[in-house]
A and B are shown apart, each in its own frame.
Chain A
Amino acid sequence: MNYSRASLKSLRGALDAKQVSAAELAEYFLAKAERALSLNTYLHVDRGLTLLQAKEADERIARGEAGPLTGIPIAHKDIFVTKGWRSTAGSRILADYISPFDATVVEKLHYGAGMVCLGKLNCDEFAMGSSNENSAFGPVRNPWNAQKIPGGSSGASAAVVAAGLAPAATGTDTGGSLRQPAAMCGVTAIKPTYGSVSRYGMIAFASSLDQGGPMAKSAEDCAYLLDAMSGFDERDSTSMPAGESVLARFSTACAPEASTGKPLQGVRIGIPREFFGEGLSADVANAVEAAVKEFEKLGAVRVDISLPRTRLSIPAYYVIAPAEASSNLSRFDGVRYGHRAKDYRDLTDMIERTRAEGFGAEVKRRIFTGAYVLSHGYYDAYYLQAQRVRRLIGQDFQDAFKSCDFIMGPVAPTTAWDIGAKSSDPVAMYLEDIFTLGVSLAGLPGMSVPCGFGDSNMPVGLQIIGNYFDEGRMLAAAHQYQQVTDWHRRAPEAFQ
Chain B
Amino acid sequence: MELQPDDLKRLAGLARIAVTDAEVAALRTQLNGIFGLIDELQAVDTAGIEPLSHPLDIVRPMSQRLREDRVTELDNRSANLANAPAQENGLFLVPKVLD
Contacts and interface: CB of A to CB of B under 8 A. Distances in A.
Contacts of B22: none
A314 interface: yes
Nearest to A390: B52
A310 B95 CA distance: 49
A170 B95 CA distance: 39
Contacts of B94: 335, 347, 350
Interface string A206-232: 001100000000000000000000000
A355 B83 contact: no
Interface in A234-282: 234, 237-238, 240
Contact of A355 (B17, B39, B46, B76): B17
A445 to B, nearest CB: 11
Contacts of A238: 54, 65
A98 interface: yes
A100 B17 contact: no
Interface in B59-97: 59, 64-65, 67, 76, 79-80, 82-86, 92, 94-97
Contact of B49 (A337, A338, A388): A388
Contact of B58 (A338, A394, A426): A394
A318 B38 contact: yes
Interface string A346-367: 1111111101100100001101
A195 interface: yes
Contacts of A386: 38, 41
Contacts of B18: 349, 352-353, 355-356
B11 interface: yes
A17 interface: no
A28 interface: no
Given A100-B80, A387-B51, A315 B16 contact: no
A392 interface: yes
A468 B54 CA distance: 13
A312 B31 CA distance: 18
* Contact count band on A: 35 or more
Chain A, interface SS category? helix
Contact of A100 (B37, B44, B76): B76
Nearest to A439: B55
Chain B interface size, as a band, is 35 or more
A389 B47 CA distance: 10
A441 to B, nearest CB: 7
A398 B34 CA distance: 29
A394 B51 CA distance: 12
B41 A316 contact: yes
Interface string A399-438: 0000000000000000000000000011100100000000
Nearest to B95: A347
A430 B37 contact: yes
Nearest to B33: A427
Contacts of B97: 346-347
B46 A100 contact: no
Interface in A302-342: 311-312, 314-316, 318-319, 326, 330, 333-340
Contacts of A144: none
Contacts of B21: none
Contacts of B51: 384, 387-388, 390-391
Given A314-B37, A346-B97, A359-B17, A237 B65 contact: yes
A42 B72 CA distance: 34
B12 interface: yes
A295 B42 CA distance: 40
B95 A346 contact: yes
Contact of A391 (B12, B58, B67, B92): B58
B4 interface: no
B88 to A, nearest CB: 13
A385 interface: yes
Interface string A362-391: 001101110111010000011011111111
Interface in B1-53: 3, 8, 11-12, 14-19, 27, 30-31, 33-42, 44, 46, 49-53
Nearest to B43: A312
Given A195-B56, A208-B55, A240-B56, A319 B41 contact: yes
A344 interface: yes
Contacts of A335: 84-85, 92, 94
A7 B13 CA distance: 52
B52 A394 contact: yes
A209 B53 CA distance: 10
Contacts of B11: 368, 371-372, 375
B82 to A, nearest CB: 7
B56 to A, nearest CB: 6
A440 to B, nearest CB: 8
A442 interface: yes
18 contacts: A100-B76, A194-B54, A195-B56, A312-B41, A336-B83, A349-B18, A356-B17, A365-B30, A368-B27, A369-B31, A385-B46, A390-B55, A391-B49, A391-B50, A391-B58, A394-B55, A427-B36, A430-B34
Interface of A: 97-98, 100, 193-195, 208-209, 234, 237-238, 240, 311-312, 314-316, 318-319, 326, 330, 333-340, 344, 346-353, 355-356, 359, 364-365, 367-369, 371-373, 375, 381-382, 384-392, 394-395, 397-398, 425-427, 430, 441-444, 468
9 closest Cβ pairs, A-B complex: A443-B55, A387-B51, A340-B85, A337-B83, A388-B46, A100-B79, A391-B52, A394-B58, A356-B18
